[in-house]
Amino acid sequence: MAYSEKVIEHAENPRNVGTLDKNDPNVGTGLVGAPACGDVMRLQIKVGDDGIIQDARFKTFGCGSAIASSSLATEWIKGKTLDEAEAIKNDRIVEELNLPPVKIHCSVLAEDAIKTAIADYRSKQAARKAAETK
């Protein structure tokens, strides 16, 4: 199956590959995937005090489409508020990367990773606030 040019471009030059300190209270980590199918995706966000995503990093093991989807996701969420990032739908990734139907699950994983990272960040912040008010 042929990959679209955009998938190849992202897969060959993935943006924002790497790791953020998962113990940093301003970092949210989303770990998703289907290991049985060879896909594991980690997406991390670093959120500023203004609630804007300052940085995003990912690490994906899987096919080119999975790598491209997460690479694109990190590009898109940087500079966005949490609510804006959370509103990103997988169809936009499908559209941008011209993903064929059999690779749509890769874009679903990327959307899921964004949401899981945001949820992790929010639960960390809530825990911190709860600890402060005690």
Partner 1 sequence: MNPFEVLGFSPGYDIAADQLARRHRELSKVLHPDKFTGSGGGERREALSRAVEVNEAFRILRDPVRRAEAIFSLSGIAVGETNEPKASPDFLMEAMEQREALEDAKASGDTAAVRALGDGIAAQTTRVVEELGQGFASAQGDAEKLRALLPLLGKLRYARRFQEELEALLEES
Residues with a known catalytic role:
37, 106
Question: Distance between CA 126 and CA 94 in Å, rounded?
Answer: 33
Q: Which is nearer to partner 1, 2 or 36 (CB)?
A: 36
CB of 37 to partner 1, least distance (A): 6
Question: Distance between CA 126 and CA 15 in Å, rounded?
Answer: 30
36 counts as binding partner 1 under rule CB under 8 A: yes
Q: Find the binding residues for partner 1 in span 48-107 (CB under 8 A).
A: 59, 61
Q: Find the binding residues for partner 1 in span 15-34 (CB under 8 A).
A: 31-34
Find residue 46's DSSP bridge partners: 27, 55
CB of 59 to partner 1, least distance (A): 7
Contacts of residue 111, Cβ cutoff 8 Å, sequence gap at least 6? 73, 88, 89, 90, 93
CB of 104 to partner 1, least distance (A): 12
> What stretches of the chain adopt beta strand conformation (E)?
27-34, 39-47, 53-61
- Sites of contact with partner 1 (CB under 8 A): 31-38, 40, 42, 59, 61
